Chains A and B, each alone.
Chain A
Amino acid sequence: MWRFISLRLLQAIPVILVVITVTFFLVRIAPGGPFDSEKPVTREVKAALEAQYKLDLPLFQQYTSYLGDLAHGNLGPSFKYPGRSVNELIAAGFPVTAELGLYALLVALCIGGLAGVIAALKPNTAQDYIPMSLAMIGICMPSFLLGPLLVLVFGIYLDWLPVSGWGDIPGDKILPSITLGAGYAAYIARLGRAGMLEVLSQDYIRTARAKGLPQWQVVLKHSLRGGLIPVVAFLGPAFAGLIAGSFVVETIFQIPGLGRFYVQAAFNRDYTMILGTTVFLSVLIVLFNLLSDVLAAWMNPRLRAQFGSH
């Protein structure tokens, strides 16, 4: 097991290096410097600024120096918010995004997982069609459409829930979490249904029934584990999607999270911020992928034994 994990960690290193390098050079070859816009600055001020941000050095030296800083966990200063480092901005925004992502994941897992299992128990009946139709709607209704619609219905017409902010008014976390989680709940429902159907058609389920076990025991003890492995393996990609989704959801609900910072940084050409956030989020996504793979593999005794034997 540990060998598997360390192997996957080793494999993640080139991925992360590629991300850093590509991002760095992409950002540097972008037309227009960060100080070109808005109010014009004098040549001396610009030179001083460039020196401060090490933009006067040759490109490759900038790169090695950035890598050096990165090794110390230093993502550099922000171009747009003078005096604040990228680290500080991430530290301010990430907890909010993480909390939103966690709630959304819980929504997705609980609703999606349950719907998938329920649908698989009685395929091709109303018990299957109703949750699966809802799941189809969830897949075809992107968050940037669902969000405004939820705001319109529950925030404005019914006036039940607050429509913006995060942790300011009670209940303001409900709509964003549902908006972000709904699409993934739909995916998980479909995956869970397919996985459960696959397992329920296996011969060993017939063995369990031949033992005289009641239906609930057959499902809980014999099917759930195998049926939900695809769902667990999906959590890695889902996490990457949740991060991207948070860009939209945080914009719609005006949540001061990392996603909104990122989109603003993209508009403002705040290069160090984009660079820093990209690196930070990429590492996070790579690690989460690793985690979900390890978890899915660990749930399968055959794979678990393979890691153990080496």
Chain B
Amino acid sequence: MALLDVQDLAVSFVTRNGTNKAVDGISFKVELGKITAIIGESGSGKSVACYSLLGLVPMPPGRIDGGRALFEGRDLLQLEEKELRAIRGRDIAMIFQDPMTCLNPYMTIGKQLMEPLIFHNKVSKEQARARALELLAEVGMRDPESTIDNFPHQFSGGMRQRVMIAMALINEPKLLIADEPTTALDVTIQAQILKLISELQHKRDIGVIFISHDLAVVADIADEIVVMKQGKIVETGDREDIFHNAQNPYTKKLLAAIPSDCKQASTTAVEPLIQVRNLCTWFGQGKGKEPVKAVNDVSFDINRGEVLGLVGESGSGKSTIGRSILRLVPVTSGEVRFDGTDLTALEGRDLKSMRRRMQMIFQDPFASLNPRMTVYDTLAEPLLLHGIETRKTVAQGVLKLMDDVGLARAFVRKYPHEFSGGQRQRIAIGRALATRPEFIVADEPVSALDVTIQAQILDLMQKLGREYGLTMLFVSHDLAVVRHLADRILVLYKGQVVEQGTGDDLFERPQQAYTQQLLKSIPGRSLLA
């Protein structure tokens, strides 16, 4: 008998604008000792389905329309709140996406760890503490004795997620539900946490539901994979089936969205457009305080027509380099030459005319557009400002841009909040291209988007890059994405360049230990090979 047997589960949300079927009749099973992955993009209902099993969907507006969820023979959906509470945290435990916000900042981690044990099993404080220390050691916390009484903010993101895992396992549950447990973490940390979850699951022989938006993440650990789209299951199968013999077009699309190929080195004239020399950008030089050296003595060239990839984890200074080149943050020292002109010395009119020639595409398409301006206003502003179009011809210019980035002309009077993330990013790309720039800094342009949308936007950028003859600095934490797009790649660590080379060089023959570690952390490597 399956540990958990979900049959025809349907959950909907009743809002003022009507009823929204978040989960529409799904069925799946979770076996003891197996990891079942539920894959889907945002809004596919994957989280709602699991939360509704434990009564964690707020009702109203949520409503369970039907179905059964048999856990050890008992239907979870029919249980009283009190009976369900006895199962929650004891037989079924959860880990959530963002370890930064999921731990109570006002309580020590020790207290939070011991809480489920004391509450469900009525053990003494001393016993609970001893157990908590054991588990902290097991999840890889160094020196648990001295850190157990610390508050969550004193730990890094990866460590907090370890605490969350320890907390979930403290009552030895039979089923663990992990909701995007690595999405908020850096790649190298993600690899560690995935390994830890997989190890703990094998050791305890428990069932795990692993919710993720990213097929690649679960490629190495999942036994069964359930693919969801718009509240329905489109395909179910074991790992082999899904990755090598997918039937459903949507699953195929998801698989195709995993960038695996390496860009063929294009033949470009070796003539540098951007020359960065000994660039330093430091922040917060107060008296007596050590400044944060976000970028520390970095030098590189970008050739005309080339796409240079810049990879590194959060805090490596990769975004700051892009912003330093565009003069969006003050440079501490060093030189940035654009077509021979030193940008760091420019002011006023000269700076403005240089700004026309270089533009930026930002990470968050929800923050990078002025919410009070229509598409027309947003796109017309640069066209008029730099005299590219006159008042008479500007409308034509705006429509041309919309065509180029693949936005329907009918949307010209709409506001940003009326668009999806992918559409917004298209507007942002249009704005960057409006000034006819020669150089573009793309700062994690797809990391806030769903995977299938990511692939579309990357394709668009590649196409427009060729059409407009762009030189590009492509900043990303995702090695696979960069490899797909960049001619050359720089690896950044703590504000300094540790290695550079073509995609092939880096992937096949990494020289530095850090680069090797980074490569090992790429999820779903088995697929790339």
Contact = CB atoms under 8 A, between A and B. Distances in A.
Q: Do chains A and B touch in the complex (CB under 8 A)?
A: yes
A204 B103 contact: yes
A297 B105 CA distance: 13
B56 interface: yes
Interface string A200-242: 0011101111111110010001100110000000000000000
B79 to A, nearest CB: 12
Interface residues of B, number: 28
Given A212-B85, A302-B151, A302-B153, A222 B116 contact: no
Interface in A278-309: 299-302, 305
A285 B102 CA distance: 38
B95 to A, nearest CB: 9
A212 B170 CA distance: 13
B119 A206 contact: no
Contact of B89 (A211, A222, A226): A211
Contacts of A222: 104, 106-107
A202 B88 CA distance: 19
Given A203-B98, A305-B151, A210 B105 contact: no
Contacts of A300: 105-106
A212 B119 contact: yes
Given A301-B153, A302-B151, A305-B151, A210 B93 contact: yes
A195 to B, nearest CB: 13
Interface in A250-285: none
Interface in B355-369: none
A211 B116 contact: yes
Interface string A89-109: 000000000000000000000
B105 A226 contact: yes
Nearest to B106: A225
Interface string B69-99: 0000000000000000111111001101010
B104 A207 contact: yes
Given A206-B56, A302-B151, A213 B103 contact: no
A212 B88 contact: yes
Contact of A212 (B87, B107, B151): B87
Contact of B115 (A211, A225, A302): A211
Nearest to B103: A204
Given A203-B96, A302-B153, A305-B151, A208 B104 contact: yes
Most B-side CB within 10 Å, residue of A206, A210, A217: A210
Count class of interface residues, chain A:
20 to 34
B120 interface: yes
Nearest to A229: B106
Interface in A58-116: none
A209 B57 CA distance: 11
A222 B106 CA distance: 8
Given A302-B151, A305-B151, A209 B56 contact: yes
Contacts of B94: 207, 210
B127 interface: no
Contacts of B153: 301-302, 305
A211 B119 contact: yes
B56 A212 contact: no
B102 A214 contact: no
B98 A210 contact: no
Nearest to B91: A212
B396 interface: no
A90 B120 CA distance: 58
B101 A204 contact: yes
A291 B98 CA distance: 34
A204 B100 CA distance: 9
Contacts of A212: 85-90, 116, 119-120
Contacts of B120: 212
Contact of B102 (A206, A302, A305): A206
Contacts of B107: 221-222
B115 A213 contact: yes
A301 B151 contact: yes
Given A210-B93, A212-B87, A305-B153, A226 B119 contact: no
Nearest to B88: A212
A292 B21 CA distance: 48
Nearest to B164: A207
B116 A301 contact: no
B314 interface: no
B54 interface: yes
B154 interface: yes
With a 10 A CB-CB cut-off, give which of B56, B101, B102 has the most chain A CB atoms.
B102
Q: Which 4 A-B pairs have the closest CB atoms?
A: A212-B89, A212-B88, A211-B89, A203-B101
Interface of B: 54, 56, 85-90, 93-94, 96, 98, 101-107, 115-116, 119-120, 151, 153-154, 164, 167
Given A204-B101, A207-B104, A212-B86, 13 more contacts: A202-B101, A206-B96, A206-B102, A207-B94, A207-B164, A209-B88, A210-B56, A211-B93, A211-B167, A212-B87, A212-B119, A213-B115, A302-B151
19 contacts: A203-B101, A204-B103, A206-B56, A206-B102, A210-B56, A210-B93, A211-B89, A211-B93, A212-B86, A212-B87, A212-B116, A212-B120, A221-B115, A225-B106, A226-B106, A301-B106, A301-B151, A305-B153, A305-B154
